[in-house]
Amino acid sequence: MSDRRTISVTINGETFERNVETRLTLADFIRHECLLTGTHVGCEHGVCGACTILLNGQTARSCLMLAVQADGQEIKTVEGIAPNDQELHPLQQAFQDNHGLQCGFCTPGMLTTLLEFLENNPDPTEREVREAISGNLCRCTGYQGIVAAALDAAKRLQAGA
Amino acid sequence: MGAKMFGARVPRLEDPRLLTGQGSYTDDFHLPGMLEAAFVRSPHSHARINGIDTSAALTHEGVVAVYTTADLPEHLRDTTVPFQVPNPAISQPFQQRLLEDREVCFAGEPIALVVADT
């Protein structure tokens, strides 16, 4: 017997109302119910960070949350970072310019994590950046580029780019 | 054309797509009529299988098929395949049958394959 609830979640400004099983994870809700497959599921137990989303502006592992817990909340995923279809957010542009991604699987989690981090710490040291992304695994071993991208993004954001 | 690339920074064409969540990884594909498959795996590290009853699973809503050893073509039923890519460093390569129906030798060994809507 399945226990279901109707929930309403706002993702990137669009409201999704769905009747879901109470055991459905938020990650699966975003990917399968809302068809936003930019959020990736790597380990399904909170280690890899690929599924990181912003819940009311704060990072959260969407694989460790249930969809029903996000009822009435506001979420931002990787699809909602760029200002429009033509432009990239300065953080995304810095990733491209600094070779901050290879296969792109960890990228959504890196971007959401760094988005929150740079908001709280607009002028970080390299050490602080490494600490900030310590919960996000990149298996292309691209940390060097990611750290460079984050530091570059901090400069661009401060310059108002 | 080649000469222009030497020493040049070449922007990757796939980056904007991957940076905005528009990439297409295997699990992102949704084709019309697509079904999902899941393996039933042994919960025991070493056990004998006395029988496999798929009838309850087959009556479950959305289930299209349940495959066990008996459903495999005859020449594949006892065929074993390497567990890891063969490598001289692996001195005792482990071979396993495609689906086990007699004796499981590790927790997680595949026994049945369920195909369903979701």
| Tens-place pLDDT, residues B25-59 | 999 988 899 999 999 999 999 999 999 999 999 99
Question: For chain A, what is the domain count?
Answer: 2
DSSP state of B17: H
Please identify among residues 26-65 of chain B the ones whose CB lies closer than 8 Å to any CB of chain A: 27-28, 30
- Give pLDDT, residue B82: 87
Cα–Cα dist B82/B95, whole Å: 4
Query: Do residues A38 and A105 both lie within one domain?
Result: no
Query: Do residues A76 and A94 both lie within one domain?
Result: no
- Give pLDDT, residue A47: 97
Query: Do residues A43 and A95 both lie within one domain?
Result: no
What is the residue whose two structure tokens read 């959401």?
A112
Domain limit, last residue, from A51, A80, A109: A80
Domain extent at residue A65: 4-80
Query: Do residues A98 and A55 both lie within one domain?
Result: no
Among B14, B25, B30, beta carbon nearest to A105:
B25
Residues 6+ apart with CB under 8 A from A89: A81, A82, A83, A115
Q: What is the mean pLDDT of chain B?
A: 92
| Tens digits of residue pLDDT in A55-111 | 999 999 999 999 999 999 999 999 999 999 999 999 999 999 999 999 999 999 999
Residue A106 lies in a domain: yes
- Give pLDDT, residue A124: 98
Q: Which residues of A touch B24 (CB under 8 A)?
A: 37
Cα–Cα dist A48/B94, whole Å: 29
Q: Do B27 and A41 touch (CB under 8 A)?
A: yes
Q: Which domains does chain B have, with CATH numbers?
A: 32-82+95-118 (3.90.1170.50)
**Higher model confidence: residue A97 or residue B82?**
A97
The answer to whether B13 faces chain A, any CB pair under 8 Å, is no
- Give pLDDT, residue B84: 84
Among B15, B21, B28, beta carbon nearest to A96:
B15
Spatial contact of A7 and A71, defined as CB atoms under 8 Å apart: yes
Q: Do B19 and A101 touch (CB under 8 A)?
A: yes
Query: Do residues A70 and A12 both lie within one domain?
Result: yes
Q: Which residues of A touch B23 (CB under 8 A)?
A: 38, 104
Q: Which residues of B touch A107 (CB under 8 A)?
A: 18-19
| B55 sits in which H/E element | helix B55-59
Cα–Cα dist B44/B46, whole Å: 6
- Check pLDDT > 80 for residue B77: yes
Query: What is the DSSP secondary-structure string of A57-102?
Result: TEEEETTSSBGGGGTT-EEE-GGGTSSSSS---HHHHHHHHTT--S
**Helix (DSSP H) and strand (DSSP E) numbers for chain A:** 5, 5
Q: Look up the CATH number of the domain holding residue A19.
A: 3.10.20.30
Residue A48 lies in a domain: yes
Spatial contact of A80 and A115, defined as CB atoms under 8 Å apart: no
The answer to whether B73 faces chain A, any CB pair under 8 Å, is no
Report residue A161's pLDDT band, with 50, 70 and 90 as the boundaries.
low
